């Protein structure tokens, strides 16, 4: 399992691995928002929580189709399926590797982008907390979607259609948490709900992903 994780991380930082792509997308997406809606700080402060979370969702989505597709194309997935590593473990490790290469950089970069969108100072802590608690759910749901669509040529679009609706609960409560935090209101309840969604996803989805992989490998 550790061999799998370190291989996935090594592949991500090698040429063509896509490490940093999601982060760069997040940066560009967020910096483009003021160009689109105008530079009035009042407007930006209101929409900042939603925009930052939408940016994070889309950035996560970008790299999902690589999770299993590359291993499937070169035959590695078949070989891992016959190895002592259970597919549930494989799915969990893949989600973890995706989170480390995609979610974690977003968490760390978010405060800088919050400043760019004039997010009130009181919202920054909640933004980081909601991203730290919410992005693992995005990776877990995305891994499940990737397992469902593995083996479909250019399944990336289908994957987005499958996964985006499942991201909705996380988006609703996480953006609400940041909005309330920025307005100085009590924001712990939505944050706890985000955490609950994440824990539920982490507990269930590796098994669902493994089942989907088994069907697709037949």
137 part of the interface to other proteins, by CB under 8 A:
no
Which CB, 40 or 73, lies closer to other proteins? 73
d(CA 106, CA 159): 21
**Which range, of 82-90, 120-128, 146-154, 182-190, touches other proteins by CB under 8 A?**
82-90
Among 80, 164, 172, 202, binds other proteins (CB under 8 A): 80
Distance of closest approach, residue 4 Cβ to other proteins, in angstroms = 7
Q: What is the 3-state secondary structure (H, E, C) of 105-160?
A: HHHHHHHHHHHHCCCCHHHHHHHHHHHHHHHHHHHHHHHHHHHHHCCCCCCHHHHH
Stretch that binds other proteins, among 13-21, 57-65, 139-147, 178-186 (CB under 8 A): 13-21
Q: Which of 31, 41, 83, 189 binds other proteins (CB under 8 A)?
A: 83
- Counting residues that bind other proteins (by CB under 8 A) gives 24
168 binds other proteins (CB under 8 A): no
86 binds other proteins (CB under 8 A): no
Q: What angle do CA 64, 54, 187 make, to 5 degrees?
A: 120
Q: Which member of 9, 54, 62, 85 binds other proteins (CB under 8 A)?
A: 85
Residue 68's contacts (CB-CB under 8 Å, 6 or more residues apart) are 77, 94, 143, 146, 147, 150, 213
Q: In terms of Cα–Cα distance, which of 9, 114, 3 is closest to 51?
A: 114
In what helix (H) or strand (E) does residue 79 lie, and over which residues does it extend? helix 76-81
To other proteins, the closest distance from the beta carbon of 66 in angstroms equals 13
3-class DSSP assignment, residue 152: coil
- The residue ranges that bind other proteins (CB under 8 A) are 2-4, 6-7, 10-11, 14-17, 74-76, 78-85, 217-218
């Amino acid at each position: 399992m550790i061999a799998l994780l370190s291989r996935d991380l090594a592949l991500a930082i090698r040429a063509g691995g896509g490490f940093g792509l999601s982060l760069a997308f997040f940066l560009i997406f967020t910096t483009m928002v003021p160009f689109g809606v105008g530079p009035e700080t009042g407007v930006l402060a209101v929409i900042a929580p939603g925009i930052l979370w939408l940016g994070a969702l889309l950035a996560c989505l970008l790299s999902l189709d690589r999770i299993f597709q590359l291993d499937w194309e070169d035959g590695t997935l078949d070989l891992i399926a016959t190895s002592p590593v259970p597919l549930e473990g494989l799915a969990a490790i893949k989600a973890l590797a995706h989170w480390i290469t995609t979610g974690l950089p977003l968490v760390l970069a978010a405060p800088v982008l919050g400043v760019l969108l004039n997010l009130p100072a009181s919202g920054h802590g909640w933004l980081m907390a909601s991203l730290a608690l919410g992005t693992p759910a995005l990776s877990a749901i995305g891994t499940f979607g990737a397992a469902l669509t593995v083996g479909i040529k250019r399944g990336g679009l289908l994957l987005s259609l499958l996964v985006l609706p499942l991201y909705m609960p996380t988006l609703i409560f996480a953006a609400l948490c940041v909005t309330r935090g920025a307005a100085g209101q009590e924001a712990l309840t939505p944050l706890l709900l985000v955490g609950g969604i994440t824990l539920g996803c982490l507990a269930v989805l590796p098994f669902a992903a493994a089942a989907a992989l088994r069907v697709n490998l037949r």
